[in-house]
Structure 1
Amino acid sequence: MGDLPYLFVLWWPISVYYAKRNNYFGLSITASLLTIFFFISVNSISSPQVVWAVYPIFIILWWPLSMYYYSYQKKKFSLLLEEK
């Protein structure tokens, strides 16, 4: 579990960087990749013969997908309002 402190040390400056620029989709992509790397490294260190990291990775991937879908719907709704 030596990777856990590195995850939080990297997570904080990344979240501050993206929050200042109001780029929450970029934050979701970067934080998801960082968290996925964390789960893969913990899986390979603790039990390399069992690939259990796939299950939390699928859950983590919903964050950027939902952010993309929200921004897509927001743009689609604003275009509908402009047409009327």
Structure 2
Amino acid sequence: MPREPEPEFRPFADDAAVRNFANLSFENGTTRIALHGSLDLTRDRAGLERAKALRAVLDAIVTALEAEDLPQAVAETTRPPTIVKNPFA
């Protein structure tokens, strides 16, 4: 059965998209992209294909960053913790 193509990953376009291949995930965000997992780049054709897929995602991220006037650093926004009523009490 052929695999469905993954939707296009547009870096920094939203806070929901995730690009997966092998055991590596790129979690999109409007201010950052988080990488999770691991990826084995073996010295064979499969490893070459994984390396090319990795390069394609990283190239898209670099292209998106180069197209913007970037700040020196992303401002960190933290909210104070919210106290909620214990639902088990």
Answer 1 or 2: which has greater helix percent. Answer: 1
Structure 2 length as normaliser, TM-score?
Answer: 0.37
Name whichever structure is richer in strand by fraction: 2
Q: TM (normalized to structure 1)?
A: 0.38
Tell me: higher relative CO, structure 1 or 2? Use CA pairs within 8 A at least 6 residues apart.
Answer: 1
Which one has a bigger Cα radius of gyration?
A: 2
